[in-house]
Structure 1
């Protein structure tokens, strides 16, 4: 055959169950971050049980986990919140801003920046992650995250910052 591996994107558990009846995908790529955890309960465990890699996109939640958005401040010019706010408007609330404050404090304690810690949290939960930097320096937190190994307890605690 000509296809060595194939994957799926934006599938829920029901879609995954249907897909595996026809063959086993190599990976699933859905949105997943500290602010988008819908796959934790079903898709991620399903993938683990069926040998399917879970490699999400959006680990920084459209820039929300970079520290660029702050409570009470205007959104930075050119940011997603000024260009395409629709998918991210749900994050404009005290729960998210409080979580960002806790995440920032945790990052400071660890001597890393906010996006590195947010990316490390995703890596602690998944098989990898897709990142889409616009500039080369935006890869720095990704490299830092790979060196920052979070224990399950640390990842659980950090995940509760946004509850």
Structure 2
């Protein structure tokens, strides 16, 4: 027995009349029926958003723990992937005002440049591209999807130094 998804069943159901039309009236009629049956691709999408990115230094030595100004990240910084770090310091916080498909570039006090681009919206979440650079070196170049006000962490190392970039974006 073959199991078909709901999508494939509905597609077969919606294409059956089109194929019948093509057999009876010819190919030009098929094109007209398929154009009517095809869902609209140009759905409304987000045009702008606002993001705040925090640069956090993670230190393996020290006993400062997580300071009050990083309480909003405390659960994440206590996760197993950051267990080796004993102290965290907020270096910088920058705001990005994004427009669809336009690159916004800011330089952080750590010497890193962040380029951020709003690519659109997927399932009510923001689609973004980020490029993280230090001098002429590209450290990160990736697309990602994030829900409004969710936080995404991107750690980068440079020698003994680790900087964690915390991205938080929302629809405007």
Q: Which has the larger radius of gyration?
A: 2
The structure with the greater share of residues assigned to helix is 1
User: What TM bracket, shorter-length normalisation?
Assistant: under 0.3
TM-score between the two structures when normalised by the length of structure 2: 0.23
